[in-house]
A = this chain, B = another copy of it.
Amino acid sequence: MRFTSQTSSDGVTEQLFTLPFTFGEIPGVLWTPDGAAGPRSLILMGHGGGQHKMAPGIVARARRFAVECGFAVVAVDAPAHGDRPRSAEFDRVTAELRTRMQTGQEATPVYAEFHALLAAQSVPEWRAVVDAVQEVDHVGTGRVGYWGLSMGCGLGVPFVAAEPRVRAAVLGLNGAETSAEAAAQITVPVEFLVQWDDEKVPRGASLALFDRFASAEKTLHANPGKHVEVPMFEVDSTLRFFARHLS
């Protein structure tokens, strides 16, 4: 793992890094409170489809997790996203997704294929990222949480199911079709976000995914609005959820 830059503003230190791994370099960013020393809880943030590790919704939440909870936060570019090369297979599936959305055809099966394609790579990558980041002195081996909506949920569910170091997860904006089997293996506390008028994820598929989590504590928050209209007060709730389970 190699840090390539470090900046600080408003109490948060932001370090860009690259991590060599099986499928090429993983570009990532680590946020910690200024002056952090010693081990702390770590939040992994999985961005949405077409976004990247520095998308505004990621950065804004990450900075709040660092400042308000003292957590370390890491985001990486998902496979074929941000600064990473795209594969012919990725281009084929995204073209199919685009066609189906433009022609009003059912896109869910293609989303499932899309998430399965990327998760085969992203699950081992996230494990390597946790290994590497927890070696950093001011991160250390504290508790781990995962945050991811939409594609960040589609890729997060199989990761959280596979990774026992993850102790709590905020997921949502995704349906059961893409990860129902993995969901049934998740037993850690889950906060799950649903947009009641989501134009991309059918309401029933969202509720079905929530239903599949085997967690004794799981809580569903549904709000009116479309896919990208999650209300800001849910960020407050996310902060408290992670603080309750990771502090």
Instruction: Please pick, from B210, B224, B236, B237, the residue contacting A222 in the complex, using a CB distance under 8 A.
Output: B210
Identify the interface centre among A215, A216, A219, A231: most chain B CB within 10 Å of its CB: A219
Report if A25 contacts B (CB, 8 A).
no
Report if A1 contacts B (CB, 8 A).
no
Interface positions of A from 215 to 247, Cβ below 8 Å from B: 215-224, 231, 233, 236-237, 240, 244
> Measured between alpha carbons, how far is A233 from B221 in the docked complex, in Å?
13
- Tallying the copies of this chain within the complex gives 2
Q: Mostly helix, strand, loop or mixed at chain A's interface?
A: mixed
> Measured between alpha carbons, how far is A105 from B118 in the docked complex, in Å?
49
> Measured between alpha carbons, how far is A114 from B207 in the docked complex, in Å?
30
Q: Which residues of B contact A240 (CB under 8 A)?
A: 236
Given A233-B244, A236-B240, answer yes or no on A219-B216 (Cβ-Cβ < 8 Å).
Answer: no
Q: Mark A180-195, 1 if CB is under 8 A from B, else 0.
A: 0000000000000010
> Measured between alpha carbons, how far is A102 from B29 in the docked complex, in Å?
60
> Measured between alpha carbons, how far is A221 from B236 in the docked complex, in Å?
15
> Measured between alpha carbons, how far is A231 from B196 in the docked complex, in Å?
23
Q: Which residues of B contact A210 (CB under 8 A)?
A: 196, 222
Q: Mark A114-136, 1 if CB is under 8 A from B, else 0.
A: 00000000000000000000000
**Distance of A170 from chain B, by nearest CB (Å):** 14
Q: Which residues of B contact A220 (CB under 8 A)?
A: 194, 196, 220-223
Residue of B nearest to A223 (CB): B219
Q: Which residues of B contact A216 (CB under 8 A)?
A: 224
Residue of B nearest to A234 (CB): B219
**Distance of A176 from chain B, by nearest CB (Å):** 15
Given A233-B244, A240-B236, A244-B233, answer yes or no on A221-B224 (Cβ-Cβ < 8 Å).
Answer: no
Residue of B nearest to A189 (CB): B233
Q: Which residues of B contact A237 (CB under 8 A)?
A: 237
Using A219-B231, A220-B220, A220-B222 as known contacts, list a sample of 14 further A-B pairs with CB atoms less than 8 Å apart, ordered by residue number in A: A194-B220, A196-B210, A196-B211, A207-B207, A210-B222, A215-B224, A216-B224, A217-B223, A218-B224, A219-B221, A219-B223, A220-B223, A221-B221, A233-B244
A-B contacts, 25 of them at CB < 8 A, read: A194-B220, A196-B210, A196-B211, A196-B220, A207-B207, A210-B222, A215-B224, A216-B224, A217-B223, A217-B224, A217-B231, A218-B223, A218-B224, A219-B221, A219-B222, A219-B223, A219-B231, A220-B220, A220-B221, A220-B222, A221-B221, A222-B222, A233-B244, A236-B240, A237-B237
